[in-house]
Amino acid sequence: MPTISEQNNLQIRQPMSVSIELSPEAAGRFAFTLDNTVKVMDHPANRIPIAMSTQSWPMRKLADLQDTGFPLDGSHVLYSTGSGSSVVPSAANGKVGLRGNLNEQLHVHIENDGATIESFTSVSTEASTVECNGTTYQIPSSGYITLEPNAAAVDLYYTPKSPDRRITVSLIAPGARFHIGNDELISCIVSLRSDLKPVGPTLPESEIEIQFYYDEDISASLAAIPDDTPLTYQSGYDDDLSPVRTFYTSDQVTWADNVITIRAVDAIHKLDGQTVYPVLLGSAGSDGRSQTSVNHLPLLMQHEIERAGIYPEIGEGFAWKSGAPLKDATCVVTEQSTRDFIAFVNNFHALGNYFVEGVPHFWPTFVDAGRPKLTYLKPEAQWDIYEEDCGDVKRHVEKKTDAYRYNKTTATLSNLTGTEYVPVGSGTWVKNSGIFIDPDDFVFFATAQYNWDGGFVINIPGWVTGDGSVVAFQNAAVPEPGGMRIGLYLMGPNIPKGVMSDSTYDWNSQVLPWGQNDLLWLQYVEAHQPGADQADIVLQGAKVVTDTVEGETYGDTTGNIADINLGNLVGEYRVGKYDEAAPYYRLFPDTMLLNLLRRSNETGSFTWKGDPRMQPRDVARFHRLDGTVEEITVESITLKHEGGGTTAEIVYRKGVV
Amino acid sequence: MALTNQNYIAIDDNLIYRPPGFAPQMQDIYAGEYTTCTGKIVGDRIGWKYADTTLTWDALPQSMVDYLIGMSGECTLEFVAPDGTITSEKVIRDSVVQLQNRNTIRGEVWWRNVSLELRFINAHN
């Protein structure tokens, strides 16, 4: 069977399959009455007592002669002649489906608990037509058909395609649902975007626009589809389909001139209106040294993304935590919109000086494009694109930047000695008991970290009090070597007391997201040493003062200077004792700006065959006509499925961004 | 009247003499085509169809010419393919019926040098 890679090596390719599914949840629960035209179903009664599935699903095939016969791989089940019996469940997962007799109509009577059935969708196989309350409709090849009977009861009669066919019905559910394949598709334009410009990048939204043929005016059903209804898209070949991308409807789904138009966007819009509260990332060791693991920033990014209801795939290397080279510095994230924050981290991802063979390797990046993924390490080239296969090849060179003039925010602790923390609370902490932290004035992040000096450190370093100052807390009063296990729990307004979130952490450094209205509950879960059933806790704090520094420059100021804002993040923030002789890793601006200055000012675009697996920010090897090979980072992909064919327009920036 | 032998073609079930040299050519259909920087055409082969063709007769009787003139919109063309199977295709007339010489032979009107252009609509995977 063809694969995407094999076909992309050919001058003339087989057409890709496109599969799109839109399945909004609609209110209503149908009751079905069946007669003896239905031969196999899940329940012995003629009336199915539970709703059929509201999502399409593949019914198992019968071991009869209409398909491939009797394969012994468990994919087919035995046929039963018991009318309306439960001899064979439709599927092991308990979903309810219906099957008819060979070459016989299948009759289903539907009622909606006394309410009018305005519209519904049926998904069937092997049926050519369906008669709905006396009107006959052709069923599209996808098997999906949406009808608008506007009646108190509906009688459906499905007719098989040919005498050797047995009808199955896997779904009858309220509302409009679609499966769009090549037969119906007129065009599908998938615009997958990132922003790789060095100054002022945004976190752009990706989108999909679909037009497909549908010869019934079902405008009323379409108008009822709510915004944000998930839509899945994948394409490729039967044995090599791209991973599913999920988009969300953004405009009204419309019907005009037998064409339905759907517009949808990726999940980035869910971040709109969301704010990152000021956060101090890092924790303080018992010796007062500030310790930050480089994974704190992407962890915060992950938290912000998940807080918006987006659950990204986490890339390789993300769990890497301890021993991070940035442990001697801490950073502060200032208050800003979540989209700005993610765009900022995406742009400055080469934070810190974590090098592998002299190359910055720490590379937290978030891309959605229907497949949200948070990656952690520098990407490697995974595609090969040959210029000879590309059309409309363009190259553009931007004005070169030699230096940046920037504003930055600084933060200072009220004490820098590490010995003058202000006690803000103390007590004996008994195993399995907990402490509530008054939430009123506090916003922020907490970290818990095992103290390698033998005790346990819990640090809740970033509480913003009502007057805007930041209080850093420290406890280093657990004497037991090996420490104890501590549970940090979030309790927000939507989380009832007693139901803890799953944020129980062991002694590796962790960040714990804490929203403005959340309670923080600290619970002593268990000791890792016998007898350590209680511990004395002292919470101490110190104020942090932030300031803004403007007009500093970095780079060769005799060349072109570009203005840039670094106010989103505060680096070089240290707590307590600091050993000047120890290796010191600067968060920024040096490393950030150095990496920006290294970024190529060369961009380009070309038309290509297109690969639906490709993501923005993927790195490719671009084989030039002259034999040279350069690495490029894909900024955007516009994948066009039109007239049965597929092409892609790709915009890139030279180098790995 | 159903098409039964290869001396005829049928347009909407009306039998007409098969035009001499009538041999519709299959042609591939491409989509997503673009020209690469080296001048190569790249694309997806999405199926095939019969190439548009011109039907030409040396002579046709008035009754058959009437069928041609009466073609309106989408019609069904049946013909015997080279492998002997009767093939049915949707076509539309793509030109006026060219009629140049009118003759009367034994009381029946015949037209000489008749031609019209046909466009095949169906595409096949």
Nearest CA in chain B to A642: B32
A605 interface with B at CB cutoff 8 Å: no
Q: What is the pTM of this model?
A: 0.76
pLDDT digits 0-9 by tens, A238-290: 888 999 999 999 999 999 999 999 999 999 999 999 887 655 555 444 333 34
A517 interface with B at CB cutoff 8 Å: no
For range A169-196, the mean pLDDT: 90
Q: How far apart are CA A17 and CA A646, in angstroms?
A: 10
Cross-chain residue pair A13–B45, CB shorter than 8 Å: yes
Q: How far apart are CA A650 and CA A178, in angstroms?
A: 29
Residues of A in contact with B39 (CB under 8 A): none
Residue A608 has pLDDT above 50, yes or no: yes
Cross-chain residue pair B47–A644, CB shorter than 8 Å: yes
Residues of A in contact with B124 (CB under 8 A): none
A12 interface with B at CB cutoff 8 Å: yes
The predicted pLDDT at position A630 comes to: 95
Chain mean pLDDT for chain A: 71
Q: How far is A611 from chain B (nearest CA, A)?
A: 13
Q: Sort strands A336-337 and A275-276 into parallel, antiparallel or unpaired.
A: antiparallel
Cross-chain residue pair A647–B38, CB shorter than 8 Å: no
pLDDT digits 0-9 by tens, A548-597: 778 888 899 999 999 988 777 655 444 333 344 433 334 455 667 877 88
Other C-beta atoms closer than 10 Å to the C-beta of A399 total 7
The predicted pLDDT at position A474 comes to: 36
Determine the length of chain A.
657
Q: How far apart are CA A75 and CA A83, in angstroms?
A: 23
- How many interchain CB pairs under 8 A, A with B? 67
Q: Confidence class of residue A302 from pLDDT cuts 50, 70 and 90?
A: confident
For range A148-156, the mean pLDDT: 91
User: How many helices (H) does chain A have, and how many strands (E)?
Assistant: 5, 53
Backbone angles phi, psi at A220, to 5 degrees: -65, -40
Q: How far apart are CA A290 and CA A84, in angstroms?
A: 71
For range A199-204, the mean pLDDT: 93
Amino acid letter for position B35: T
Residues of A in contact with B34 (CB under 8 A): 391-392, 607, 647
CA distances from A611 to A34, A106, A232, A638, B29 (A): 46, 42, 17, 10, 21
Q: What percent of chain A has pLDDT over 70?
A: 59
Residue A291 has pLDDT above 50, yes or no: no
Other C-beta atoms closer than 10 Å to the C-beta of A92 total 9
- In this prediction, the residues of chain B whose per-residue pLDDT falls under 50 are none
Q: How far is A7 from chain B (nearest CA, A)?
A: 9
Q: How far is B47 from chain A (nearest CA, A)?
A: 9
CA distances from A585 to A128, A291, A572, A590 (A): 69, 11, 8, 10
Q: Which of B29, B34, B46 sits opposite A607 (nearest CB)?
A: B34
Residues of A in contact with B40 (CB under 8 A): 11, 388-389
Residues of A in contact with B29 (CB under 8 A): 644
Backbone angles phi, psi at B100, to 5 degrees: -110, -40
Cross-chain residue pair A391–B34, CB shorter than 8 Å: yes
A95 interface with B at CB cutoff 8 Å: no
Return the residue matching tokens 């890792």: A528
Residues of B in contact with A12 (CB under 8 A): 30, 42-45
Backbone angles phi, psi at B95, to 5 degrees: -155, 170
pLDDT digits 0-9 by tens, A532-552: 455 444 444 444 556 677 888
Residues of B in contact with A647 (CB under 8 A): 32, 34
